[in-house]
Structure 1
C-alpha cells in the first residue's frame, strides 16, 4: 500500500490507494460499533465512489474489527435519530416523495460498486447483517472468512431490504432461496454461502487478507479493456434475450480485435 494519506476518511469510511493507483481500498472503520451504518456513512461511501481516480481497476471493501458490518445503527429508529439528521420516524411522517428521494440518496452508496470499469471485492468476516449484507452484495465478488455470517433481518423488523440488495441476492441464489433467507432472517454461514453461490471463496480468518490480495493480483493480470468488456457482457446477460446478448458479444469482440490490431479509436 502507498504511504500517501487517505483520499477520504470520515463518518466511518476510509478510502486509500495503492502506490500504482490501480487498487483502491474502502474500509468501514468504526469497529467499536461493529461498523454499524448510518446516513452519514452512506454519504461517505457515495463520495468514495466519486473520488476514485480513473486509474483504479479493483476496489476492495473491508470492515475493521470483528465484524464486516452489523447493519443499520438502530439509533436511526429512535425519536432523536442522529445529530443533525432527521430520524427515520420523522422521515416516515413526512411527504412520500421526500421519503422516496431520501432513500434514493441512501442507495447511491450501494450502486457505484457495479460500474463496469471496476471489479469490486468484499472481504467479509464476522457479521454482515442487513445493510451490511446488502453492502457485501453490492460488490462483484465476495471472499469470506470462515466465521462470516450473513443475515437479512429487515423483514423480521417489519421492513424490506431497500439498499439495492434484492436483485443481486436473487441473481446469485435464485428466487426461492432469496425469499427464504429474507423472510426467515436466518444466518447464512460461510460454508453455505459458498455452496449456494453467495460467496466465491471461504478461507480461515487469518488468511482472509492474503486470499484477497491473491484474487486482486489475478484480477489485474488480464488487460483492463478485456476485463471491462467481459464484466459488461456478463451483466447484460442477466437482462438481454439471446439475440441481443449474441449481438453484444459480437460488438464487444469486434472492439477487442480492432484494439489488438491497433485500429481502436
Structure 2
C-alpha cells in the first residue's frame, strides 16, 4: 500500500482562514474509496476555529468520477466492495455507511462555509461530495450526475437530502431516478450552481467567493449560515424564534457583553 492509498488521495492546504481540500488522484479521475471518505472525515474532525471557508476541489480534468471501479465487486474479499459491505448484515452495513456519510456531512458544520470547485465530471460519490458543500462553482463544461439507481443502488452519501433542498422534490427525483447528467448551464438555472465560469477562471472565481464569505465578521457569518441551513426544515414560528435568538447573541457580542 502506498502513502496515497493510505490517505485516500486527499491533501489539504491552508491559506489563512481558507482550507483547500483536494482529491489528488487525477489518473483515475479522482475516483473515491472508503479510504477517501475516512480521510475526508479526518479533515472535518481536525478543523480549528480559525478556518472559515473550506474549498473542495479535484486535481486534473475531473472533480470526481465517483466510486473506484473495484468497489462494485460482489466478491466479499474485495476490501470496501459491495460484496464485503453486504456481508456485514443489515445493521453492520448501515453502521459502515454511517461512517462513510460522516466524510461528507461535516462540510456543513457550524463555523464554516464550504465551496465545491467543480470541473469536468462530478458523478455519483463525486456529485454527492459537491452537493455536500454549501456553495458550488462549476466550469462551463462540467456536469453533475447521480447514476446510482441505474446501477441498482441508491445515493447514500448524504446526496438525496442536499439535492432536494437545492432543487426541490420533482427535479431531485427525476435526476436521481433517471441518472441523467445535469450540465452546468442547467445547474445554474436550477440554483444547483452558484456560478458557472470558463475552466481557466475557476480558481479565481472560487478565490473571489471565498474572500467575499470571509469579509463579514466571523460570528455574523456563522449565525447567518446556521439560520439559512435550518430554514429548509423549520416551520415559520421555529425559524422566527431562531432568528430572534441569533440576533440577540449578535447584539450582545457587538455590545461587548
Q: TM-score, normalised by structure 1?
A: 0.92
**In the alignment, what sits opposite 2:9?**
12
1:162-241 to 2 correspondence within 5 Å? Answer: 162-241=156-235
8 Å contact from structure 2 (residues 77, 84) kept in 1: no
Query: The residue matched to 2:56 in structure 1 has which SS?
Result: strand
Is structure 2 residue 63 aligned with structure 1 residue 63?
no
- The runs of 4+ residues in structure 1 deviating greater than 3 Å are 79-83
Question: Residues 25-55 of structure 1: CA distance to partner in whole angstroms, max 9, x if unpaired?
Answer: 0000000000001101110111111122221
Unaligned residue ranges in structure 2 (runs of 5+): 1-5
Task: Report the CA distance between 1:162 and its aligned residue.
Answer: 0.5
1:108-187 to 2 correspondence within 5 Å? Answer: 108-187=102-181
Query: The residue matched to 2:55 in structure 1 has which SS?
Result: strand
Query: The residue matched to 2:64 in structure 1 has which SS?
Result: coil
Q: TM-score, normalised by structure 2?
A: 0.95
Query: The residue matched to 1:216 in structure 2 has which SS?
Result: helix
Is structure 2 residue 88 aligned with structure 1 residue 94?
yes
Count residues in correspondence: 252
Q: 1:81 to 1:25 in 2, by over 3 A?
A: farther
8 Å contact from structure 1 (residues 29, 63) kept in 2: yes
- What is the alpha-carbon distance in structure 2 between the residues aligned to residue 96 and residue 81 of structure 1? 15
Task: Report the CA distance between 1:10 and its aligned residue.
Answer: 2.3
Unaligned residue ranges in structure 1 (runs of 5+): 1-8
Task: Report the CA distance between 1:96 and its aligned residue.
Answer: 1.2
Query: The residue matched to 2:161 in structure 1 has which SS?
Result: helix
8 Å contact from structure 1 (residues 148, 190) kept in 2: yes
Q: 1:121 to 1:81 in 2, by over 3 A?
A: farther
- What is the alpha-carbon distance in structure 2 between the residues aligned to residue 46 and residue 11 of structure 1? 11
Q: Which has the higher helix share?
A: 2
Task: Report the CA distance between 1:205 and its aligned residue.
Answer: 0.5
